[in-house]
Amino acid sequence: MISFGSVFLELVFGQVPKLPSPGEEVFTEEFAVSCGGAVSSASAAAAAGARAGLCTILGDDLGSRVVTEFCSRRGVDLSPSLRVRHRSAGITVVLNFDGDRAFVTNVPAQARRGQAEIDRWRGVLRSTRPRWCYLHAGHGVPDFLREARELGSKIALDVSLGDERHRDVVIDCIRLADVFVPNEAELQRLTGTDSTGPAVSAAAAWGTPLVVKRGAAGALVISPDGITEVAEGVRQVRVRDLTGAGDAFAGAMIAALLRGSSLTDAVVAANAAGSEAVARLGAVGEVEVAGISTAGQTLGAKFIDRMAASRRGAAPPGLTSEERSDERGGKAVPQGRPAGEPESAASRRGAAPPGLTSEERSDERGGKAVPVKGERGGGWGPAGEPENTAMEPEL
């Protein structure tokens, strides 16, 4: 399967007592850095045993790097993605409040989905021919869905906040999908109804099987065989953050369908994945990001620890085993580089700059870190150029 869409760096705050008013500050006990968007469904499918790919735009920003490293760890294939030399990942601040979330989001103008990106998706579709595609409805998407159907790919379709404003386009997309997976509120807004029963009746006219996500109540499966309530698979958990639960649900459902499960049985697996998702902070859970706070240790605490260690002459916390303290100035330098030599000189000698992962090297043309061609999760050629190697046909 391949998930198509944008990706985001998420700064997630746990339950806050109230939303702050202008000039006011509120505090929460929980915080996490995560990533979300199309990566959520792809990683959920991979976790459930499917061969999963991500088709997005990855830039030179922190969010793109977090997504790249996360996909490498989770076995999500990035070869369908495009690498660019500018910021591409959105940034979202998530505030959990009163059992739901509020968002503040920025998406770079150059990364907003347009027709050119959807045309690139169609090229990926033709070269990879995935068995399943997962994406959200929107302008330009119907033509992509028509081509997917012609190529024999199946389509799981979802919607985003505010998509009901483009109702006609969304319904065109739904009619071309193999299964539509909204939650109850999304379906009600889309059908202009105020409860699930009338919403399901209205949506039946679109002719596409529905899986309506209902949170702790499980899901409804609506097909030509009738309406089935599926509560099996739901687990009792402490709900920490709803972000990404719908995408995790869809990814696990697609993985089960790829194994040959019926739609109803696939929803059981999806319910379990959704339960797991809401028990963590962030769409994919907490990710480690150097220099940004993680659970139990704030950015300020890390800074204080580093300063204290530096005064003692010890290596500051967080340095790799290859780094030591430059005794002449207290500056951390990699082991094996003369004290005081600029870091860029190490790059010119071919050494990887400090802080790069084992999957990265220094681009000798500009000193820019890019994944090594051929390593899992990378798949990139020269900086800014995707490797010209298609995924195997049966994703």
**Bigger pLDDT: 89 vs 313:** 89
The mean pLDDT value for 5-18 works out to: 95
DSSP β-ladder status, 90-97 and 100-106: antiparallel
pLDDT tens for 37-46 read: 999 999 999 9
Element (H, E) at 368: strand 368-371
293 located within any domain: no
Q: How far is the CA of 80 from the CAs of 43, 128, 302, in angstroms?
A: 15, 8, 37
Q: Of 278, 310, 341, which marks where a domain is finished? A: 278
Q: Work out the pLDDT band at 269, boundaries 50, 70, 90.
A: very high
13 located within any domain: yes
Q: Work out the pLDDT band at 311, boundaries 50, 70, 90.
A: low
pLDDT of res. 354: 43
Virtual CA dihedral for 232, 238, 240, 243, nearest 10 degrees? Answer: 0
Residue type at 95?
A: L
Here the tokens at position 100 are: 């739901």
* 266 and 327 inside one domain: no
* 249 and 330 inside one domain: no
Here the tokens at position 382 are: 């020269």
pLDDT of res. 160: 87
* 159 and 259 inside one domain: yes
User: For tokens 């109702």, what's the residue?
Assistant: 167
With contact defined as beta carbons under 8 Å apart, do 221 and 249 qualify? Answer: no
Q: Tally the domains of the chain.
A: 2
Q: Work out the pLDDT band at 300, boundaries 50, 70, 90.
A: very low
Virtual CA dihedral for 107, 109, 115, 118, nearest 10 degrees? Answer: -40
pLDDT of res. 313: 59
Nearest CA-CA partner of 291 in 264, 310, 314, 316: 316
248 located within any domain: yes
Q: What angle do CA 386, 387, 390 make, to 5 degrees?
A: 110
Q: How far apart are CA 214 and CA 267, in angstroms?
A: 12
- The single-letter DSSP state of residue 339 is T
Least confident window among 54-58, 185-189, 295-299: 295-299
User: For tokens 């968007």, what's the residue?
Assistant: 37
140 located within any domain: yes
Q: What is the C-alpha radius of gyration for the chain, rounded to an integer number of angstroms?
A: 23
Nearest CA-CA partner of 238 in 280, 181, 205: 280
CATH number, residue 94 = 3.40.1190.20
189 located within any domain: no
pLDDT of res. 4: 98
Q: How many CA atoms lie within 13 A of 302 on its CB side?
A: 14
* 359 and 265 inside one domain: no
The mean pLDDT value for 243-258 works out to: 97
Does the pLDDT value for residue 238 go beyond 80?
yes
192 located within any domain: no
User: For tokens 């950015």, what's the residue?
Assistant: 299
Does the pLDDT value for residue 240 go beyond 70?
yes
Range of the domain at 318: 301-371
**Bigger pLDDT: 248 vs 305:** 248
Does the pLDDT value for residue 349 go beyond 90?
no
* 272 and 305 inside one domain: no
Nearest CA-CA partner of 211 in 244, 170, 247, 183: 183
* 85 and 168 inside one domain: yes
With contact defined as beta carbons under 8 Å apart, do 156 and 256 qualify? Answer: no
Does the pLDDT value for residue 228 go beyond 50?
yes
Here the tokens at position 82 are: 């495009």
SS3 291: coil
* 248 and 318 inside one domain: no
* 178 and 319 inside one domain: no
Q: How far apart are CA 1 and CA 125, in angstroms?
A: 11
209 located within any domain: no
* 106 and 49 inside one domain: yes
User: For tokens 């085993």, what's the residue?
Assistant: 321
* 168 and 264 inside one domain: yes
pLDDT tens for 139-168 read: 999 999 999 999 999 999 999 888 888 999
User: Dmax of the chain from CA atoms?
Assistant: 77
With contact defined as beta carbons under 8 Å apart, do 286 and 295 qualify? Answer: yes
* 305 and 268 inside one domain: no
Q: How many CA atoms lie within 13 A of 61 on its CB side?
A: 19
* 13 and 162 inside one domain: yes
207 located within any domain: no
Q: How many CA atoms lie within 13 A of 52 on its CB side?
A: 31
Virtual CA dihedral for 158, 159, 164, 165, nearest 10 degrees? Answer: -130
The mean pLDDT value for 336-359 works out to: 42
Roughly what angle, to the nearest 10 degrees, separates helices 167-176 and 184-191? 120
Please name the residue ranges forming H helices in the chain.
38-47, 62-74, 115-128, 141-151, 167-176, 184-191, 196-203, 245-258, 263-278, 299-312, 343-348
